[in-house]
Amino acid sequence: MDGDYLFRKTAWMEMCGMTDTLEPKSLVEDIERHVRLRTGSEIQQLRITVDEERVVLEGCTTTFYNKQLAGHAAHKGLQGRSLANNICVN
């Protein structure tokens, strides 16, 4: 599934007031909890998205170590998906 399709689908669903069934809220919350606990909440503007194929981490932190910790924490909830760690280091 390409990113453009997911973007269009999400935009359409938001416009219609629907929730995205490809992003299980409980899975996102579980991964977010693991990341925050493991990093000591050092990831600012943490955003986690989940689709059928991958989990994407986004946000910013001050060290590569925190980025690595976030990736390791997220691995616990991948459920066979790939991980894209797009956390920026400032």
Q: Which of 63, 57, 47 is nearest to 87 (CA)?
A: 57
CATH number at 65 reads 3.30.1340
Evaluate whether residue 4 is within a structural domain. Answer: no
**Range 24-32, long-range pairs (CB < 8 A, 24+ positions):** 24/50, 27/77, 27/79, 30/77, 31/55, 31/73, 31/74, 31/76, 31/77
Over the stretch 34-90, which tens digit does the pLDDT of each residue have?
999 999 989 999 999 988 889 999 999 999 999 999 999 998 788 889 999 999 999
Average pLDDT for residues 7-30, to the nearest whole number?
A: 59
Q: Where are the beta strands (DSSP E) in the chain?
A: 44-50, 54-61, 82-89
Evaluate whether residue 3 is within a structural domain. Answer: no
| Amino acid 52: pLDDT | 83
Structural domain span for residue 53: 22-89
| Amino acid 55: pLDDT | 92
> What is the spatial distance between Cα 59 and Cα 56, in angstroms, rounded to a whole number?
10
Evaluate whether residue 5 is within a structural domain. Answer: no
